[in-house]
Structure 1
Amino acid sequence: MSVRRLNHAVLYVRDVARSVAFYGDTLGLTTTDEMPGRAAFLAAPGSLNDHDLGLFAVGAEAPGPEAGRVGLYHLAWEVGTLGDLVAAEERLAAHGALVGASDHLVSKSLYAKDPDGNEFEVMWRVPREDWPGPDEPDRLRPLDLAAALRRWGTDRETGAAAGTAT
């Protein structure tokens, strides 16, 4: 037995309505079901899941996540094109949520935090034929979106958007 993929994630948040608005505005997730003030379930456009993200309220005074503690570090959301990644960067920056970016050579990644401090990644998968060999010395570099756009363009679909696992 082996698992195939992550079906959904569930987060504890302080304010469900605020988090629903944030994930809708930044990632385009839509609400599939909601218990107002208590819980919400959201899905990505075209998702085959009932929901991709669950949100459960724990109250306004709940402590936020802390770096260096046991627990979830971040979730990674995949976009289909570099144009989508650029749009995500713009939306995340407009919300003051963008906290970093990196080039993993197999993916181009943005890092952000939601209103409760939960970190997440938005990534575009590099086409498999362009992945580096195992002898590549440094697999983490600063993200240069302009160079990536020159190489692959804004509309090249990869990963799930192209119907492939890689």
Structure 2
Amino acid sequence: MAVRRLNHAVLYVNGLQREVEFYTTTLGFEVRMEVPGQAAFLRSPGSVNDHDLGLFDIGTGRASGRPEVGLYHLAWEVGTLAELVEARQKLLDAGALVGESDHRLSKSLYARDPSGIEFEVLWRVPVEDWDEELAQGDDFTVPLDWQRTLSRWDNQQQTGAAAGSPT
């Protein structure tokens, strides 16, 4: 068996309504179901999943009896560079953007939600360009060069899941 993509993520958060507002406003998630003050299940428009993101409010304390391990980040994929540019602006407007990286095979934004949980929003480089991108240098992660990226690919070119890729 092979894991192909993120199906859903579940996060413990501090301030459920603030988190729901953040994820619906900045990333376009829709509320699928909500238990007021306790939990919300969000889905990306057009998703085939019941939910893509579950949020459970633990208040200002810790989740009782749960291990205190943390999540580094989650990564969600957008279909076009235009969508990545739009996500960047929304994250900037929210004061949430903390980094931008070129991972050769993806162009990535890093942000923190209101509870401080880091996540990534990425656009996948077309598979046919992978070899050329990997030949750009030995470092797999470099600062994202927006000028190069936007001049190299059509900002409406769909890749990854948006283009029907199963992986």
TM-score by length of 1: 0.90
SS of equivalent to 1:132: helix
Change (3 A) 1:108 1:2: closer
Residue 28 of structure 1 corresponds to: 28
Deviations 1:60-82 (A, max 9, x none): x236xxxxx85321000100000
Change (3 A) 1:56 1:70: closer
Residue 156 of structure 2 corresponds to: 155
Cα drift, residue 154 of structure 1: 1.2
Between the aligned partners of 1:78 and 1:111, the Cα distance in structure 2 is: 12
Between the aligned partners of 1:7 and 1:82, the Cα distance in structure 2 is: 22
Between the aligned partners of 1:93 and 1:140, the Cα distance in structure 2 is: 22
After superposing on structure 2, the runs of 4+ consecutive aligned residues of structure 1 that deviate more than 4 Å are 133-136
In the comparison of the two structures, how many residue pairs are matched?
A: 160
Change (3 A) 1:29 1:129: same
Is 1:9 aligned with 2:9? yes
* Aligned AA (2:160): G
Conserved 8 A contact 2:97-2:110: yes
Between the aligned partners of 1:47 and 1:83, the Cα distance in structure 2 is: 19
Residue 164 of structure 1 corresponds to: 165
Residue 55 of structure 1 corresponds to: 55
Between the aligned partners of 1:114 and 1:147, the Cα distance in structure 2 is: 28
* Aligned AA (1:143): L
Residue 120 of structure 1 corresponds to: 119
Q: Which moved more, 1:1-10 or 1:38-47?
A: 1-10
Between the aligned partners of 1:62 and 1:101, the Cα distance in structure 2 is: 31
Deviations 1:108-133 (A, max 9, x none): 00000000000000000000111137
Is 1:40 aligned with 2:34? no
CA RMSD between the two structures = 1.7
Between the aligned partners of 2:5 and 2:143, the Cα distance in structure 1 is: 28
Identity of aligned residues (%): 61
Between the aligned partners of 1:148 and 1:163, the Cα distance in structure 2 is: 22
Residue 104 of structure 1 corresponds to: 103
Between the aligned partners of 1:2 and 1:164, the Cα distance in structure 2 is: 14
Residue 137 of structure 1 corresponds to: 138
Conserved 8 A contact 1:106-1:132: no
Cα drift, residue 157 of structure 1: 0.2
Conserved 8 A contact 1:105-1:132: no
Deviations 1:123-156 (A, max 9, x none): 0000011113776511111101222111112100
Identify unmatched segments of 5+ residues in structure 2: 63-67
Between the aligned partners of 1:130 and 1:4, the Cα distance in structure 2 is: 20
SS of equivalent to 2:131: coil
